[in-house]
């Protein structure tokens, strides 16, 4: 029996409406720490979003 892998928000802090979507591969900058984000559509880098428990796109609480 194969172990089920949890894919929910792992390494990808996004709300349900933003999770799994495609984003422009243009780097943006995190409003929290100033580090580059994976996409210019993101407000926060994944580290800050995880720390705050928010979607990195719309800042909705996760
Ligand atoms: Zn950050
Ligand atoms: Zn969102």
- Domains of the chain, by residue range, sit at 11-62
CA atoms within 13 A on the CB side of 42: 33
Looking at all shown ligands, the one closest to residue 58's CA atom is: 2
- Distance from the alpha carbon of residue 61 to the mean position of ligand 2, in angstroms: 9
* Secondary structure of 1-58 in HEC code, one letter for each residue: CCCCCCCCCCCCCCCCCCCCCCCCCCCEECCCCCCEECCCCCCCCHHHHHHHCECCCC
Tens-digit pLDDT profile for residues 16-53 = 999 999 999 999 999 999 999 999 999 999 999 999 99
Per the model's pLDDT, the better-predicted residue between 8 and 31 turns out to be 31
- Distance from the alpha carbon of residue 29 to the mean position of ligand 2, in angstroms: 17
Asked whether the predicted pLDDT for residue 9 surpasses 50, the reply is no
- Distance from the alpha carbon of residue 17 to the mean position of ligand 2, in angstroms: 6
- Distance from the alpha carbon of residue 52 to the mean position of ligand 2, in angstroms: 13
């Amino acid at each position: 029996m194969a172990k089920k892998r949890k894919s929910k928000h792992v390494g990808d802090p996004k709300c349900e409406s933003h999770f799994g979507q495609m984003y422009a591969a243009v780097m943006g900058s995190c409003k929290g720490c100033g580090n580059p984000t994976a996409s210019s559509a993101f407000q926060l880098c994944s580290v800050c979003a995880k720390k705050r428990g928010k979607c990195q796109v719309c800042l909705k609480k996760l």
